[in-house]
Amino acid sequence: MKSVANRLPLHALHAEIGAVFASPCGWELPFSYGDPEAEYRAVRTAAGFCDRSVSEVVEVTGRDRVSFLQGMLSNDVKALVPGQGCLAAFLDAHGKVQALLTVLVLEERLLLTLGSGLAAKTLQTLDKYLISEKAYFKDVSAETMLFMAAGPNTAAVVERLTGEPPLSTPWAHAERKAGDVAIRVVTGSGETGESEAWLYVPASAGEQVWRATLDAGKPVGLRPVGVTALDVLRVEAGVPWYGHDVDETVLLPEILSEPYVSYTKGCYIGQEIVARIKYRGHVNRALTGLTFDGDRVPRPGAVIEADGKDAGRVTSAVHSFALDRPIALGFVRREHLEPGTAVTVKDNDLTLAARITALPFYRRGSIRP
């Protein structure tokens, strides 16, 4: 665990600067800093700054660290050199997602970043596959804080903080100095639909770097952003979160899996299923977008119906500030996936009209109606 009672290590600091807290998924998190829409607009027009320290970080060392993970994860870890990274998935033998993660390659180690609560379970499973390989795993979550800057002014924020802009390639990373603190700056891949930079910060210097980043970014419009705005941003960008939209019942090809997969790397756990679906088959359902009439936002788990029959489930839903209407992510059976298909969503006693919408809802410079 990162902190007592599932609070962020910087909980007191967030309270000091006006955070309003709520407790989703067992964590007391800043839901906003008073104005979720203004926080959202900051990311779309300038820059926002999020504390993402609910994520967990695992350090991998040992001479066989790369070759071992090459056979465990869905992406091509072996093709990476120090300073590069990628998204990846850890699957079971049936191709179902056990974790979504990022992999960063350093000179003498790898860093894996996973969602909250996934590190211990993932390491326990990986340990079962270790036989004679020299690969050693250590959960360093308590020693690491993760912050994310997002928005068109992200590069300016990082340059004002460290003296250098972030690298241009997704998941490229480098050690930089924020004052006298060594941090790792990692280029994100568009979880919000905007430019992003992740800061991996020693926990002992977390408050110092958080304050320094806000001070450095203030002239270019940086402001703190809570979970409410972040959720809208990532749903508009069509990005699923593990534990919300994806769990261990989901086949990797049922989501927008291309960033997570190499189809040329060779064998890994679940590879046969993933390849078979891509080249010779299809999934029976897939993650898609839904756009709603009216102003009611359905709850996760609401039933999606088409032609009077059960067609799927809503997994995440928000009020989109870009579209000024409710939107959702959900799994829908393949025969109803054509964009524009009319469906209904049953949320307890309410029946909501919706239509299937291709993802993403938002890409910088364009919005799907």
Each residue of 114-147: pLDDT tens digit? 999 999 999 999 999 999 999 999 999 999 999 9
Q: What is the pTM of this model?
A: 0.95
The answer to whether residue 367 scores a pLDDT higher than 80 is: no
Q: Which CATH number fits the domain that encloses residue 335?
A: 2.40.30.110
Do residues 188 and 326 both lie within one domain? no
For the cut 60, the answer to whether the pLDDT of residue 5 exceeds it is no
Q: Are residues 232 and 288 in the same domain?
A: no
Task: Give the pLDDT confidence score for residue 241 in this predicted structure.
Answer: 96
Regarding predicted confidence, which is higher, 203 or 24?
Answer: 203
CB crowding 23-60: b at 16 or more within 10 Å, else e: eeeebbbbbbbebbeebbbbbbebbbbbbbbbbbbbbb
Say whether both 218 and 320 belong to one domain.
no
What pLDDT does residue 2 have?
44
Is the model's pLDDT at 45 over the cut of 90? yes
Q: Which of 71, 54, 75 is closest to 11 using CA atoms?
A: 54
**68: enclosing H helix or E strand:** helix 65-70
When divided into structural domains, the chain yields a total of 2
Task: For residues 35 and 162, state if they share a domain.
Answer: yes
- The token pair at 106 is 């350093």
User: Are 166 and 305 in a shared domain?
Assistant: no
Q: What value does the mean pLDDT of the chain take?
A: 95
By the 8 A CB rule, do 173 and 163 touch? no
For 168-222, what is each residue's pLDDT tens digit? Answer: 999 999 999 999 999 999 999 989 999 999 999 999 999 999 999 999 999 999 9
From 201, 216, 236, give the residue that closes a domain: 236
- Say if 127 falls within a structural domain: no
Q: 209: closest CA among 163, 186, 177, 171?
A: 177
Q: What is the mean pLDDT of residues 3-19?
A: 88
Q: Is residue 134 part of a domain?
A: no
Instruction: Say yes or no: 152 and 289 in one domain.
Output: no
DSSP per-residue codes, 190-247: -TTSS-EEEEEEEGGGHHHHHHHHHHHHGGGTEEE--HHHHHHHHHHTT---BTTTB-
Q: Does residue 50 carry a pLDDT above 90?
A: yes
Q: Are residues 321 and 172 in the same domain?
A: no
Range of the domain at 338: 284-367
Domain membership of residue 249 (yes or no) is no
Between CA 175 and CA 83 the distance in angstroms is 9
pLDDT attached to residue 256: 83
